[in-house]
Amino acid sequence: MKTLLLTVICLFTLSVATAQIAQVSSPNDKLKVELLLVQSKPFYTVIYDNKTILEASPLGLTTNEGDFSNNLTFVNAKSGHIDKSYSQAKIKKSQIHYQANTLTCTFVNSNNDSIDITFQVSNNDIAFRYELPAWGNTRACVVEREATGYKFPVQTTTFISEMMSPMNAFARTSPSYETGYTNDEPVGKASGNGDGYVFPGLFRVGDDGWVLLSETGVRSLYCASHLSDGKEEGLYTVEFPNVKQNNGFGSTGAQMALPGVTPWRTITVGSNLTPIVETTIPFDVVDPLYEPSQEYQYGRSTWSWIVWMDGSMNWNDQVTYIDLASELGFEYILIDALWDDNIGYERMKELVAYAKSKNVDVFLWYNSNGGFNDAPQGPHNKMNTSIARKKEMKWLQEIGVKGLKVDFFGGDKQETMRLYEDILSDANDYGLMIVFHGCTLPRGWERMYPNYVGSEAVLASEMLIFSDYARDNEAFFATLHPFIRNAVGSMEFGGVLLNKYLNKGNKVGQERQTTDIFQLATAVLYQNPVQMFALTPNNLTDVPAFEIDFMKEVPTTWDETIYIDGTPGKYAVIARRHGNTWYVAGVNAQETAVKLKLNLPMLANQKVRLYSDDNKLNPTLKEAQVKKDGAVDVIIQPKGGMIIVSN
């Protein structure tokens, strides 16, 4: 009797306190978002194909001018539709058609100040953000924290990467998004340092679907966010940067002019991994922030530093690597750190001219510092103020440099987002492309900034040189990137290492664990419009000629990208099209060979080139025939690779 009474009371309470206030579905009606008000707090749920993907998950934010996460009253909801087409030469796909249904819900808080929450729902992607009007004469606020969260069903497992601690790692340069991943582990785990997990994060909702969480449209007007530790019952919330980043300087919240909007938080959902690999949501909901000052040329680059290290940062070795780029038909050389001391400004002008004489253009390295890390590598103090930057960039333009690699940022605060944006904007004025290293995840930047061409934000090739852990797990991480990090943004990995030992001597030391074909496959698997490849001059003669020929022809821009096969952590096969040529690339992280019947309808009935490892892991190139129905059998060896190229 007592229990029954309690149940009746609970049901009664629930019915008055919980109200579904609005809902929005994708154009194909499979993906649904429902907005709820539970005891005056806003929540949302996500349903895909009639299965619960996110349970009631919190919404709202708190500003210094009022709380918009509690004591809210629903005012009204407006629906709409977006249909937009655009082209973008430097992401996974060149022509994009984005269609979404939209829902904007207006709430007022206890002060009668209002906030809008807007959802855009396309067939496999949800983007949502908060839109704040001016409140009377209040035209500025600071967003102090968000209630925004994602509550996964209990059966969900995670593929997520820990946020690094502030002012840690090399020369106090972290966080820089360079840690490992959980692999199919239960929800609810705390990170090692309590700082949570970076965007993007991949979640598998048992057999009900896959979810990729990220954010986009983050620029100088907000901080970058990340995911909390796993909280009770599968909840992850949006967290602002640790205040200790950047030596404790700069605020962790976001300063906003009113009216103002937050970045978009994105949720990509599918019953399989196709929508995850193929999503363009980071780019669909943002627009270019300025016109390109010129048409930027993407391409491939050599760089000596990755294998020959600091000792190669001298005139002679840079000439050697310019000659290597020229021999390979690569468009660029990246001249890395220490050039200011070891080559000098005067001779750099000559070196750029020499490169030009060999039909090679130059990317130059810069330290982003500033006053927020101890990295000793120069040039210093050239990128951190507008005055120094413009003077330097004017010189760079005069001597014909085409791009910069700016390194060591170490923070997600709004303070740092301003620096990223200011560097990009100034660089465009001087015709310079920008690559960031030691940095945050790009959040829609490929579309927002016309001269932006990629970020590291991954445990990249340098760690293969420095760390046994990275070498041992190279294949494992490679099977994650197409589904996680590289699914939402360009990834400047700096790979394709063909030395057996990852040093200049190539005889002893850091032994590569993966095969040559694995390495070649990453040239396709990893997407960045300018790729710094880790080839060395000896590779011209000490690997089979067909490997070098492959590197001479492999493109860095793609018209289409599609998921073919794979499971994160085990193996991955994706296909990319450049013009009329398809490249299908696969890697295997498992202890045993994987035998696959690939379905490649776009290559049906065609003769193709098949690069693979034989059972002794030696590289082979053969002609293969794709059957009439598009089927082709391939074997990918342990820590090996596979590439199919159409003729």
- Residue ranges that bind Ca ion, judged by CB under 5 A: 438
* Partners of residue 125 on adjacent β-strands: 268
Residue 96 phi/psi, 5° resolution? -125, 135
CB of 589 to Ca ion, least distance (A): 22
How far apart CA 240 and CA 245 sit, in angstroms, is 11
How far apart CA 337 and CA 576 sit, in angstroms, is 33
CB of 460 to Ca ion, least distance (A): 6
With beta carbons less than 8 A apart as the criterion, state whether 337 and 369 touch: no
Q: Closer CB to Ca ion, residue 209 or residue 454?
A: 454
Cis peptide before 379 (omega within 30 of 0): yes
Distances (CA, A) of 188 to 215, 229, 331: 21, 7, 47
Q: Closer CB to Ca ion, residue 270 or residue 438?
A: 438
Q: Closer CB to Ca ion, residue 426 or residue 492?
A: 492
Q: Closer CB to Ca ion, residue 60 or residue 438?
A: 438
Q: Closer CB to Ca ion, residue 114 or residue 168?
A: 168
How far apart CA 619 and CA 512 sit, in angstroms, is 15
Q: Closer CB to Ca ion, residue 58 or residue 438?
A: 438
Q: How would you classify residue 216: left for phi > 0, otherwise alpha for psi between -120 and 50, otherwise beta?
A: beta
**In sequence order, what are the residues at sequence separation of 6 or more whose Cβ sits closer than 8 angstroms to the Cβ of residue 59?**
35, 42, 43, 44, 69, 117, 147, 148
How far apart CA 46 and CA 266 sit, in angstroms, is 12
Residue with tokens 């929800």: 187
Q: Closer CB to Ca ion, residue 217 or residue 438?
A: 438
CB of 185 to Ca ion, least distance (A): 25
Q: Indicate the Cα dihedral angle 417, 420, 426, 429, nearest 10°.
A: -110
CB of 198 to Ca ion, least distance (A): 14
Q: Closer CB to Ca ion, residue 130 or residue 303?
A: 303
CB of 494 to Ca ion, least distance (A): 9
Q: Closer CB to Ca ion, residue 171 or residue 319?
A: 171
With beta carbons less than 8 A apart as the criterion, state whether 567 and 480 touch: no
H/E element, 98: strand 95-108
Give the DSSP letter of residue 99.
E
Q: Smallest Cα–Cα separation from 536: which of 514, 524, 553, 519?
A: 519
CB of 437 to Ca ion, least distance (A): 5
CB of 182 to Ca ion, least distance (A): 21
The three-state (H, E, C) secondary structure of 332-383, written as one string: EEEECCCHHHHCCHHHHHHHHHHHHHCCCEEEEEEECCCCCCCCCCCCCCCC
CB of 172 to Ca ion, least distance (A): 14
Q: Closer CB to Ca ion, residue 175 or residue 438?
A: 438
Q: Closer CB to Ca ion, residue 379 or residue 438?
A: 438
Give the DSSP letter of residue 232.
G
Number of residue whose CB is nearest Ca ion: 438
How many Cα atoms are found within 13 Å in the side-chain-facing hemisphere of 138? Answer: 14
**In sequence order, what are the residues at sequence separation of 6 or more whose Cβ sits closer than 8 angstroms to the Cβ of residue 69?**
41, 42, 58, 59, 60, 61, 62, 146, 147
CB of 462 to Ca ion, least distance (A): 6
CB of 327 to Ca ion, least distance (A): 28
Q: Closer CB to Ca ion, residue 438 or residue 489?
A: 438
Quick count: other Cβ atoms within 10 Å of Cβ 54? 28
CB of 178 to Ca ion, least distance (A): 6
**In sequence order, what are the residues at sequence separation of 6 or more whose Cβ sits closer than 8 angstroms to the Cβ of residue 366?**
379, 382, 383, 404, 405, 406, 407
CB of 260 to Ca ion, least distance (A): 33
Quick count: other Cβ atoms within 10 Å of Cβ 570? 16
